[in-house]
Amino acid sequence: LPTYPFQRHRYWVGTEPTAAGDHDRTAPAGGSAEERFWEAVERADLATLADTLAVDPQTPLSGLLPTLSTWRRAQGEQATIASWRYRISWAPLPERPQGAPAGTWLLLVPEPAGGAGAPMPSAVERALAAGGAQVVRLTAGGAGRTALAARVREALAGREKAAGVLSLLALDESPHPEHAGLTTGLVDNVTLLQALGDASVDAPLWLATRGAVSVGGSDLLASPAQAATWGLGRVAALEEPQRWGGLVDLPETLDDRAARQLGAVLAGVTGEDGTEDQLAVREAGVFARRLVRAPLRGAAAAGGWQPRGTVLVTGGTGGIGAQVARWLVRGGAEHVVLTSRRGPEAPGAAELREELAGLGDGRVRVTVAACDMGDREAVAGLIREITSDGEAVRAVFHAAGVVTFAPLAESATADFGSMADGKIRGAQLLDELLDQDKLEAFVVFSSIAATWGSGGQSAYAAANAYLDAFAERRAARGLPATSVAWGPWADKGMIEQGEVAEHLSRRGLPAMAPELALASLADALRSGETGLVVADVLWDRFVPGFTAARRRPLIGGLPEVRAALAPETPAAADQETVAADFVRSLAGLTPGEVERSLQDLVAEQAAAVLGHASAAAVSAGRDFKELGFDSLTAVELRNRLGAVTGIELPATLIFDYPAPQELAAYLRAELAGGADGLDVFADLDRWETALTDLAADEELRERLVGRLRHVMAALGEDGGQTAAAASIDAGLLSATADEVFGFIDNELGAS
């Protein structure tokens, strides 16, 4: 739909064929006999089918038609479901010449684990130093954002610009004092990400964990708590691409070989082009995280889990919870318990209860209960109540949680805490308090925000990354566990809300039909799968935006992604060259022309983000919010403009400069380094023209070269801040063409 209601453009899909042989699915049959046959079957159209087959409609074929129609639809649904299924895999990377980090590295270590003699922090520090890096060790110590930014500035004062930052803060798994579902390490990493921005440290940041992932085989995932940092990092990679290094999981012991491998990872020599940013260092080598297709098991999974007995659905009165409840009742559950914070007082709860009772034809009990899933006493009381008749809980569907949107730079600990209380703490308490001997299914609802990140959803991604790891850890203990990272659902699904749904659809993530999503879930449960990603991804639309700021090796192995990236896209281009070319294109323009060029740039990029055909749809004076921007599209526009201009732009860019015209003026000031700095390029162009004529005199040419070398030397020493360079710059800023010639005559003795 249009992002602005009065745009006079047609957005509806036409009914005319778009290419030879490409017909609208609802168009009358007109192709081959086979096409007409299957179209008739799909529509259960006996007359057309009989005509196609040249038979009498009264033949026994009429009894077969419903079966054929059902089969045809089922095949189409199975094909759709199969196209939605992915999973995470780990690929061993080939051995390459070893590299080591150099320059000044800031190493963040936790307390008290980061104290003197602590094995892992000390081993990592030795690994950095062994390669020649100058290590500046710093503790977070629970410092707030402002205090930590001050510590970072102080630690780097008087040193060369930091070459990298490595955080071991996630190793601190002690519970946060205010939110039991959070670890101190996760909160400290959030604070660090914000503090580095406040301190203007743009060196690549690496977040390290230990035991947060499993690369397969006997490599067990030991710490779901640290896995939450991986969810946080995937969002940071999208929101702060210019400051992002990557995620690296360390082995239990960092021996000499592992230390060298870690050095290669941090030096950027791992993988084909050094862009790998989700890695695990193990005894066998370095492994990279990959998204791969997950084949549909279908018939092979027949006879697996089926709903029965008492089933608990957390978040049961919400959009997805209600869909799950209907599916459970139809599937045979005898007692469905739906929980939410407000319980029976939640909007629509009473109507949902009546609907479910009707679906069960009186054989199903429906309980709607208020329960804070982060409160141990409340969860324990709920379980006692629903098992008081001696019937154990047979299955759990943990769908509690709401989606909130906030840039990482503006997120507070409370945002992460409220998300963790329901999702993380709820899963922990259910795992602890339920009778595991009677439990047949334990399903947690995760999100693609945790799989590959989603702008503005750092807290949500962190909590869901925990759930993915939690399920993997339960399965390793021999307990039933299934985690599905969902794409957006239609019909009031958890992420399918207003402007968010519209944005995701434009980005290549259309909402899935709930009945097909639930069929995917049923297949996963029947086949006993532990981790699955289910999303309808239009890769040709999704890839350009997702890879706009940098390569994303996670998805690079999928054929659809390779096709979308060929030919070369902005993600594969040299961004420094792009930025330099753009700035060079402004040289020689008048201030008014520069302003118009930047307004055109903003309009072009804004139109691309919103999905418009041209920049004409973006009015320079209309606010971004009115144009259809939200917190997610704001991040994409910031990344696009940063890639073209080479400027490090704030996450709050369009909120600080709410209209294209204002944003263009801000970019001009940033590019200029001051109100009129861009005029220097125009003056240099006039110099170049004048010098071409003057250099015809060989003696004068030698004197010109000497003088210009002197100027370049001054610029190389201190960025042009010497008195001589400052004097030259001051003259250039206001000089006319005649004054430039006079300046040359006077300075170089050319009179």
What pLDDT digit, counting tens, does each position of 359-411 carry? 977 789 999 999 999 999 999 999 999 999 989 999 999 998 877 788 999 99
- pLDDT averaged over consecutive 10-residue blocks of the chain (751 residues)? 50 41 37 71 80 74 72 83 96 81 94 63 92 90 89 92 95 91 95 95 96 94 97 95 94 92 89 86 94 79 80 94 95 95 92 91 91 95 94 95 84 92 95 95 97 93 98 96 95 58 82 94 93 96 85 93 72 60 78 85 86 77 80 77 83 81 87 55 59 68 73 57 45 49 48 38
At 468-484, the pLDDT tens digits run: 999 999 999 999 999 99
Write the DSSP symbol of residue 616. Answer: G
Contact 485, 464 (CB under 8 A): yes
Q: Which residues of the chain form CATH 1.10.1200.10?
A: 575-672
3-state secondary structure of 358: helix
Which residues share a beta bridge with 406? Answer: 457
For residue 576, the model assigns a pLDDT of 63
**Helix runs in 587-722, H state only:** 591-610, 624-627, 631-645, 653-656, 660-672, 679-694, 698-718
Q: Which residues of the chain form CATH 3.40.50.720?
A: 298-537
For residue 114, the model assigns a pLDDT of 45
User: Which distant-in-sequence residues (6+ apart) come within 8 Å of 241 by Cβ?
Assistant: 549, 550, 639, 642
Which of 3.40.50.11460, 3.40.50.460, 3.40.1000.10, 3.40.50.2000 is the CATH number of 93-293?
3.40.50.11460
For residue 728, the model assigns a pLDDT of 47
Q: Distance (Å, rounded) from C-alpha 400 to C-alpha 407?
A: 22
For residue 748, the model assigns a pLDDT of 44
Q: Which residues of the chain form CATH 3.40.50.11460?
A: 93-293
Q: Round to the nearest angstrom and report the end-to-end CA distance of the chain.
A: 69
- What token pair was written down for 214? 């499993």
Architecture field, domain 298-537 = 3-Layer(aba) Sandwich (3.40)
For residue 500, the model assigns a pLDDT of 65
For residue 574, the model assigns a pLDDT of 55
How many CA atoms are closer than 13 Å to the CA of 201, on its beta-carbon side? 32
Q: Distance (Å, rounded) from C-alpha 352 to C-alpha 363?
A: 16
194 burial (CB, 10 Å; 0-12 / 13-18 / 19+) is: buried
Assigned fold of 575-672: 1.10.1200
- ∠ CA 686-690-691 to the nearest 5 degrees? 115
Burial 318-349 (b: 16+ CB within 10 A, else e): bbbbbbbbbbbbeeebbbbbbbbbebeebeeb
